[in-house]
Amino acid sequence: MIDYKTGGSGHFGGLSEAEPDARGTKLQLVVYALAGRLFEGMPEAPVRGDYWFVSDRESFKRVGYPVTAEVLDRVSQTLGQIVSGIEHGVFPNYPTATSTSPFVECAY
């Protein structure tokens, strides 16, 4: 599974099999990997997730890891903490004023 990126890789450098979700801020690779497995009807298939920075400026760098049972366990724990925090009000929603913009203007 490859997620093509046209921007910079600076915020992705710490990702690895040991740190697959950047403390809950980078969940995309695991979600895509699981979706790919389900789409192919092969829930146990080996899969690797990578961000591929497709520019000369980034030297076509790839950052990623194999999505192993340990990675899935780690990300499941992270998601459990996120959900628990939301349920306990630690992640309050602060919407912006009504606007005609199609984008949500929220820094976090």
Domain positions in the chain: 2-87
- pLDDT score of 99: 65
For residue 27, what is the DSSP state?
-
Question: Which has the closest alpha carbon to 72: 28, 1, 20?
Answer: 20
Q: Which residues of the chain have pLDDT under 50?
A: none
Contact call for residues 1 and 29 (beta carbons, < 8 A): yes
CA distance 29 to 36: 10
83, with CB counted inside 10 A (0-12, 13-18, 19+), is: exposed
Q: What is the pTM of this model?
A: 0.77
- pLDDT score of 97: 65
